[in-house]
Amino acid sequence: MSLSTLSPSILLQSVLSASQNAVMVYQLVQDSSNNKSALRLTMVNPVAERNLGRPAVELLGSTFPVLYPHLVGTGLDDRYRQVVETGLPAQFEFSYHRPGLAIPAWCDVSAVPLGENSVVVSYNDISQSKADADAARRAHVLEETFNASINGITVFEAICDEAGMVTDFRFVMINEAGLRMSGYKREDLLGKTLWRSIPLRGSTDYLRNM
């Protein structure tokens, strides 16, 4: 097995560049201004560079509060510092508010200790998957409430002609109580039109029952 002759720093930079996640390397240094430890950015991959909106040459050497002023006080830098100090990796989900946006952002974060008081941070934006999961949960709750109602509820979609006149109605949703009152099966109604699927007299009776 052949061994690479590349230096560890070049190998690390190659790995960072190949990652599809945003990856950054911080080094824990002493801040001479306040005599406290600070996380200083020493490496950054293209994905993280794009997220920060500045070229790497302007980012390297900056401390965490300078890079992320809106994250000061959230405790995120303390988690990175803990990884360096304990030598133990950490993986967690982190939520924060992005400037100018009302809804919170979510990231899946992985922090792994590196030599020379450093930590490799990899993160992936999972805001959309979180929003989709929340929407699915809300939809499930609404569906449960819809079906639990003792009143018959049917949701129709109006079908209009070219002149904008309503010519029919399409069944979109119907709850359990509505099915019992209608005398039909769910598959006989959903997606079907009211006047064309049910005889005229039956349509009138159906609407009266509902």
C-alpha pair distances (Å), 45 with each of 8, 40, 116: 16, 15, 19
C-alpha pair distances (Å), 48 with each of 14, 23, 81, 170: 14, 6, 19, 49
Q: Which class for 4: exposed (0-12), middle (13-18), buried (19 or more C-beta within 10 A)?
A: exposed
Q: What are the residue boundaries of the structural domains of the chain, listed by start?
A: 8-126, 149-209
CATH class of the domain at 8-126: alpha beta
Here the tokens at position 87 are 């030598």
CA distance 49 to 34: 28
Nearest CA among 20, 76, 15, 10 for reference residue 51: 20
pLDDT, tens digit only, all 210 positions of the chain = 444 554 556 656 666 666 678 999 999 987 666 567 889 999 999 888 998 888 888 999 999 999 999 888 899 999 999 999 999 999 999 988 877 777 788 889 999 998 889 999 999 888 788 778 777 888 788 778 877 888 888 888 888 888 888 888 888 888 888 888 877 888 888 888 887 666 544 455 555 555
- Sign of the CA dihedral with 12 first, then 35, 71, and 79 last: positive
Element (H, E) at 168: strand 166-174
